[in-house]
Chain A
Amino acid sequence: MLFFSYFKELVGKEVTVELKNDLAITGTLHSVDQYLNIKLENTRVVDEAKYPHMLSVKNCFIRGSVVRYVQLPPDGVDVEILHDATRREARGT
């Protein structure tokens, strides 16, 4: 559940989700679920000239299983907190 909890913290922030088909979508993180499916709002595709396939889509649901990377906002990363949460997760508490 660590990543689920972590992504929930990021709701409202802007992220870029890179998919396994090389498509990269930037948008405001609207929600995430237990499968790490992601909903983005106000989306735009990185390199729209090459990927015009989602030009008329502004809100989307991305299946967690096709996500390769999520590019995080710098202020969404607090190493101390992540360390703590990771240890707690490993301990199973």
Chain B
Amino acid sequence: MEFRKGSSLSISDSSKKEMASDTGLELLIEQTISVITNDGRNIVGVLKGFDQATNLILDESHERVYSTKAGVEQLVLGLYIIRGDNISVVGELDEELDSNLNLSSLRAHPLKPVGH
């Protein structure tokens, strides 16, 4: 709206605060999330914490390895700290949708690395 009005592009403190709680990952704390990293890996785990730089703490995490030759393979990783600048996407895992997935029959190329 400020944008349209053109009076000012600056953001008031109150809306900044609002954004901060709206934009961050706090709603995902203690939830199972699916992270896609810049090197193309997919890691699933429980989000225990994060910070400004999008560094994440993932507990009970495992990697889902995609390949075209076989179904998705899951590797147990455990407790991980993932550095923010290595993160592409943090997705909220819908447990119901996920349990309906048949991972062993899913085949796909691994995701490409982002490579800046």
- Size of interface on B: residues with Cβ below 8 Å to A: 48
B64 CB contacts on chain A under 8 angstroms: 53
B93 CB contacts on chain A under 8 angstroms: 56-57
User: Does A31 contact B3, Cβ atoms closer than 8 Å?
Assistant: no
- Size of interface on A: residues with Cβ below 8 Å to B: 43
**Known contacts being A19-B114, A51-B111, is A56 close to B97, with CB within 8 Å?**
yes
- Which of the residues A1, A54, A65 comes within 8 Å of B34, measured between beta carbons? A54
Would you call A77 an interface residue if the criterion is a C-beta within 8 Å of the partner chain's C-beta atoms? Answer: no
Complex: chain B residue closest to A67, CB-CB: B88
**Bound complex: CA of A58 vs CA of B31, how far in Å?**
14
Return B50 CB to nearest CB of chain A, in Å: 10
- Which of the residues B25, B101, B109 comes within 8 Å of A55, measured between beta carbons? B101
Return A82 CB to nearest CB of chain B, in Å: 9
User: Does A32 contact B3, Cβ atoms closer than 8 Å?
Assistant: no
- Which of the residues A1, A6, A63, A93 comes within 8 Å of B88, measured between beta carbons? A63
A55 CB contacts on chain B under 8 angstroms: 97, 101
User: Does B89 contact A54, Cβ atoms closer than 8 Å?
Assistant: yes
Return A85 CB to nearest CB of chain B, in Å: 6
A51 CB contacts on chain B under 8 angstroms: 108, 111
B40 CB contacts on chain A under 8 angstroms: 21
Complex: chain B residue closest to A32, CB-CB: B23
Would you call B92 an interface residue if the criterion is a C-beta within 8 Å of the partner chain's C-beta atoms? Answer: yes
Top 4 A-B pairs, shortest CB-CB distance: A57-B91, A56-B98, A33-B23, A60-B91
Show the binding face of A for B, using Cβ within 8 Å.
1-2, 4-6, 8-9, 19-23, 25, 30-34, 37, 39, 43, 50-63, 65-66, 81, 84-85, 88-89, 93
The 12 listed contacts between A and B (C-beta, < 8 Å) are A1-B9, A6-B3, A8-B3, A20-B88, A20-B116, A56-B34, A56-B97, A56-B98, A65-B116, A66-B114, A81-B4, A84-B6
